[in-house]
Amino acid sequence: MIRQLVVNNVLHRPIRTVVSILAVGVEVALVILIVGLTSGLLQETAKRIEGIGADIMLQPPSASVFLAFSGAPMPIKIADKLREMKYVQAVAPVLLQFSSSNGVDIVYGIDPKSFRDVSSGFVFLEGHDMQGPDDVLMDDWEAKAKHIAVNDTFRMLDHDFHVAGIVEHGKGARLFVPLATLQDLSGSREKASVFFMKCTNTEYTQAVMDEMRPVFPGYEIRPLKDFLSLMTATNLPGLNAFIKSMIVLAVSVGFLVILLSMYTTVIERTRDIGVLKSLGASKAYIIRGLLGESALICLIGIGVGIAMSYVTRAAFQSSFPTLSILITPEWIVRSALIALAGGLLGASYPAWLASRKDAIEALSYD
Amino acid sequence: MTITTTIRPPADALLTTRDPIVEPIVVTEDLWKLYHAGKVEVPALRGINFKVMPGEFVSVMGPSGCGKSSLLYVLGGLARASRGRVLVNGNDLTAMGDAERTKLRRDKIGFVFQRFNLLPTLDARGNIAIAQHIHGHGFDAKRFEAITQMLGLTGRLKHRPSEMSGGEQQRVAIARAIINDPKIILADEPTGNLDTQNSEIVLSMLSKLNKDLGQTIVMITHNPEAAAYSSRVVHMRDGVIVDAAPAS
């Protein structure tokens, strides 16, 4: 019976109900999308770096796992030292450079031959490998997002590049230029940001790393197979705080809307509350009814929010193909619980007020 | 259809019996109710002594502001007495907490209001059934059917209050009041918002409940014609009972 009362009450004021549902939906979608966007970008970046196919990555001391945060302080001659080591099959020095000419991009300056040796080469969808100093390779997602075709001119870093080829995504970066060109453009002659290494057999990864440590004391030497697990929000300074802030903001919106909605509901239903009290309804019964309404609104809102998340992700990815939004069941459940808790908390005060209303005053309320 | 499980002796039989164990169902002793308007105490009831026997149909009459509704609310446990004692079915309301009075209301008292006070979001069936739900003994389909049939509501059960006439709404309110077989019905101006025809129907229903089922009823009314349906009329003025006499 109380279920029927709850459902009918929720349906009684459709606009207020829809607004409340949307507020909860936006709250849920915000949480899912913010977390999905950050973790999606991190995971996608990690997968691309793993996709290079290297076994070991060497970075300068105290370098971040987020490659773009590191400069280029390593002499390129390190590559020669690395090549001399036992079980090392290939070494590819890579220079990383931020480019904000056409959105935010990370450009890899590579030596095509050594990069091919480590990564087994690009899969060309169109065009060919870099041949001249101004050639650029672009991955298919980037080309689609920027509407670029082979032989187009692509300007970045205040330099006009010739798009030599479109390659399949998943090899570290989305843009590749010759190492020497990028060194010139960034004033990092004979420098590299990171060295990717391929062992003669993956089983020798640990042995090679052990051999490297005394030779490069303090340097960051990481096996690539663990890279995905390192690329998390907790390893990026400030990102966790940002995610938490956004969640608190989203929850506050839901909480306040539910609070206001239920508060107006209680005022509007003052007489009904008096009637329930005259029938012998306990305080708990009245609280249960109002929390039930809030829970129903939240549950519908959660469903709407999840749907909104998928629709928004599809819309984003259609407009920005390089954007990766990772929607995980874990965060769907978490956002649902957060929204439900926020909604119930928001309804608690109005419900408590309702339960304490004087029955006679409530019955004479107009 | 008769409600075999709830039939009580008619009022006359109870009143004429010589059995000494028949106790009043309602007793008030020096009952006072004070309201506060700022720092001023306004007495609504001033030492009421009042008894209602099981199966009686008592009307309480008096001018506006004489304390009739206050008396009804105190008897129903909706308001706390300021002084004196109130016994309903042997339970001393003045010694009870809010939760206990709520339980007493749930189990022993049925209210009928002037403004019907049906829940607007529920249909007639829901408005009656919710009383059973609050009572906590689940939905008694047999009793529900018997009562709705007796009150002529069978065809109106799927209608919401906004889709019913005043008379129909009040009959739903009566059904809601009696669905849990209360010891006493407290009716506050039950015909105050009804036209003559519907007033007669509602009063006949109350009278029938009293006569056929032995239902105890205390009814507040302004209307002498309504009071005529009861077995006894109590007159109030300025918070005191000034006269009690059998209804004409």
| DSSP secondary structure letters along A53-97 | --SEEEE-TT--SSGGG----EETTHHHHHHTSTTEEEEEEEEEE
Q: Which of A173, A207, A164, A140 is nearest to A51 (CA)?
A: A173
Comparing A340 with A73, which gets the higher pLDDT? A340
Cα–Cα distance for residue pair A45/A60, rounded to 1 Å: 20
Q: Tens digit of pLDDT per residue, chain B (248 long)?
A: 444 444 444 444 444 444 557 889 999 999 999 988 888 888 999 999 999 999 999 999 999 889 999 999 999 999 999 999 999 999 999 999 999 999 999 999 999 999 999 999 999 999 999 999 999 888 888 999 999 998 889 989 999 999 999 999 999 999 999 999 899 999 999 998 889 998 999 999 899 999 988 999 999 998 899 999 999 999 999 999 987 666 55
- Summarize the confidence of residues A40-50 as an average pLDDT: 83
| Chain A: closest CA distance from residue B113 (Å) | 9
What is the domain extent for residue A88? 61-218
Contact between A8 and B122 using a beta-carbon 8 Å cutoff: yes
In a domain, A132, yes or no: yes
Q: Which residues of A touch B78 (CB under 8 A)?
A: 277-278, 359-360, 363
In a domain, A261, yes or no: yes
Task: Examine the domain organization and report whether A205 and A92 are in the same domain.
Answer: yes
**Whether pLDDT at A168 is above 80:** yes
Cα–Cα distance for residue pair A3/A183, rounded to 1 Å: 69
Tally of domains in chain A: 2
User: How many residues are present in chain B?
Assistant: 248
- Summarize the confidence of residues A182-202 as an average pLDDT: 91
Contact between B111 and A8 using a beta-carbon 8 Å cutoff: no
**Whether pLDDT at A247 is above 90:** no
For B56, left (φ over 0), alpha (ψ -120 to 50), or beta? Answer: beta
Nearest CA in chain A to B130: A1
3-state secondary structure B70-110: HHHHHHCCCCCCCEEEEEECCEEHHHCCHHHHHHHHHHHEE
- Summarize the confidence of residues A132-144 as an average pLDDT: 92
Cα–Cα distance for residue pair A279/B166, rounded to 1 Å: 20
pLDDT at B15: 46
Q: Which residues of A touch B129 (CB under 8 A)?
A: 1
Q: Which residues of B touch A12 (CB under 8 A)?
A: 120-121
The terminus-to-terminus CA distance of chain A in angstroms comes to: 26
In a domain, A226, yes or no: no
In a domain, A225, yes or no: no
pLDDT category of residue A233 using cuts at 50, 70 and 90: low
Task: Examine the domain organization and report whether A70 and A213 are in the same domain.
Answer: yes
pLDDT at B54: 94
Strands lying side by side in the sheet with B40-52 = B40-52, B26-37, B83-88, B91-92
At B158, give phi and psi (nearest 5°): -95, 5
B102: nearest CB among A4, A11, A282:
A282
Q: Which residues sit opposite B85 in a β-bridge?
A: B29
Contact between A5 and B109 using a beta-carbon 8 Å cutoff: no
pLDDT category of residue A68 using cuts at 50, 70 and 90: low
In eight-state DSSP terms, residue B236 is E
Cα–Cα distance for residue pair A326/A314, rounded to 1 Å: 11
| DSSP secondary structure letters along B12-71 | HHHHH---TT---SEEEEEEEEEEEETTEEEEEEEEEEEEE-TT-EEEEE--TTSSHHHH
| DSSP secondary structure letters along A232-271 | SGGGSTTHHHHHHHHHHHHHHHHHHHHHHHHHHHHHHTHH
A280: nearest CB among B102, B119, B126:
B102
In a domain, A314, yes or no: yes
Task: Examine the domain organization and report whether A16 and A142 are in the same domain.
Answer: no
Nearest CA in chain B to A364: B115
User: How many residues are present in chain A?
Assistant: 366
Nearest CA in chain A to B104: A280
Q: Which residues of B touch A272 (CB under 8 A)?
A: 119-120
Comparing A63 with A46, which gets the higher pLDDT? A46
Contact between B134 and A279 using a beta-carbon 8 Å cutoff: yes
pLDDT tens for A296-324 read 999 999 999 999 999 999 998 888 877 88
Contact between B121 and A280 using a beta-carbon 8 Å cutoff: no
Which of A5, A273, A275 is the mutation pick for testing B, counting most B CBs within 10 A?
A275
Q: Where does B4-11+54-73+98-246 sit in CATH, by number?
A: 3.40.50.300
- Mean pLDDT of the residues in chain A: 88
Task: Examine the domain organization and report whether A195 and A284 are in the same domain.
Answer: no
In eight-state DSSP terms, residue A203 is G
Establish if B193 touches chain A: CB-CB under 8 angstroms: no
Contact between B130 and A359 using a beta-carbon 8 Å cutoff: no
> So what's the ipTM on this one?
0.86
pLDDT at B1: 44
Establish if B107 touches chain A: CB-CB under 8 angstroms: yes
Task: Examine the domain organization and report whether A84 and A123 are in the same domain.
Answer: yes
Task: Examine the domain organization and report whether A189 and A67 are in the same domain.
Answer: yes
Task: Examine the domain organization and report whether A71 and A200 are in the same domain.
Answer: yes
Task: Examine the domain organization and report whether A252 and A349 are in the same domain.
Answer: yes
Task: Examine the domain organization and report whether A74 and A133 are in the same domain.
Answer: yes
The one-letter amino acid at B195: D
pLDDT at A209: 93
Which of B96, B109, B130, B189 is the mutation pick for testing A, counting most A CBs within 10 A?
B130
